Structure 1
Amino acid sequence: MEDTMPTRDGRRRQLARIALVLAAAVVALVNVAPVLWGVTTSLRPPEEIFTFPPSFLVSDLTGEHYSQVLNGSFARNITNSLLYSTTATVVAVLLGAIAAYAFDRFRFPLRRSLFGVIVACIPLSMGAAVLVIPNYLYFAALGLLDTPVILPLLYLGYNLPMAVWILKGAMEGIPTELDEAAKIDGASRLRTFAAVILPLCRPSLAAASIFVFIGAWNEFVAGSVMVNTSDYRPVQVAVYQFISAFGRQWGPLTASAVLALLPILVLVVFFGRYLVAGLMRGAVKG
């Protein structure tokens, strides 16, 4: 009887692993299949897009859809989103690091309440569509609608709470003795922050940067409402332009979607390892 119990437990663990692998495979298939289908569709000649039965295989590769997309204003729209997202990322991480350091190292009235407000703003920023009307009225009063500065400002406001939360969790894991040692060596608060604290927060800085960039890059609602001029249009709104009242241009639509996806894929492939490390630091403390 004692010999059979470990065997049963081992079989149960093995079955659990198999079930977990199968579930992960199903989830991966559900998420990857539409992307693969979009890539293959973007490479098909127009006459093969609606062939039946459908197939992932492409008999005759073509780049005409990409040429059509890039010959228009789409390249400028990608450049716009790169500028908007990069600006919002740099400013959000910088301000987020300063705010996180202040919340973690200084004691001032309503410190916990203010940080609670910031944390509460994280889900609100993820559902930023509810903020479109008040933001529209506010920026209309300022005369900033349909200008190149409005979207970076909105992206900064939407994603700054996440950056503060991640970076504060990282700074809570840094002993205050390091600040005291730097002070004894004659370092000012600013020098301690720049030369001691920030280098120790590199994984969390990278994680915050990735989250802010992805959040800014993928934003659609504000970009479609606040900007009307094609010269200032972000990439996600430009992708939607290939869906019109006369139907969907599936070739250019999938080609533009693939081009819009590439920066995110590159970012995750090369810097995705920082996401887990940065988020774990922000989730354990915070």
Structure 2
Amino acid sequence: MNRFLRRLCVCLTTLAALCATISQTWGHGGGGDIAIFTNHALQQVDIGFAVLDDDDISQEVFDPTVSVFQAVLIPNTPSTIPPIPYSYGTREPGFDSEEALPPLKTLRANTLDLWYWDGAGTVDMQPAASLGITGGYAPASDVTQATGGFHGHPMFGLEGDAIPDGIYIAKVTISVDTLADSNPYYLVTLKNESLYTGDPLQDAEHGEMVGEAVRAYLDDPSSGSPMVMGTDYTFYADAVVFARALPVPEPATSALLALGIAGGWLVSRRRKQR
């Protein structure tokens, strides 16, 4: 029996590691919204990737393994409607749930960490707080619909006296009342003054151009460097790859690991009782 339990522990741990590897490899991020749903087995918030239809109603593409998303920040200007509560911010990607959450409960985005890299050389993320820069979502909280659905585009942004160009990676979890918090996801954002014209719509269009170029490069690096308006954004793609390698166990993976650990504890305890 002990031999069976030991083999079961090894199999579960190996399967968990394989699941984590697959999710990090296939996760592409960007181009859609952050899907939020309930992992009923664990009573936990879960997140993934969703592309919505033209009316922002139904999820036409859904991938529960994605945990890395990307966006280009634009500056706050007097003409921005509604006003951006940060020096630089973005409303993409949004949050979406298809009646998959507890109804009429507070939903909150929690920014746990924020890192910065200037984009030069190899990826070297440093705490953004060391530069006096903070970041997060506004509003940080909202309420799910009576049906359990949710759709919103809170602003993620940065604030500080001087915000240098470069890459900012935020580590975020989602809370919904009555459920355990989600595992973290990573939002990889770019701030680059050369993209900004003073027109928020034009700035957003430039950001979309960069995002599309980087996503195309990540899907097929042989297609050539992601060049936009004379700038090579390979460093942005490198940051996305870096974020994909950060540890984010899927809830199902966490359950397998927990079961494997519990099995190992049981074997150890039986040995001690002999």
Select the structure that is richer in strand. 2
Higher radius of gyration, 1 or 2: 1
Higher relative CO (Cα under 8 Å, sequence separation at least 6) belongs to 1
TM-score above 0.5, yes or no: no
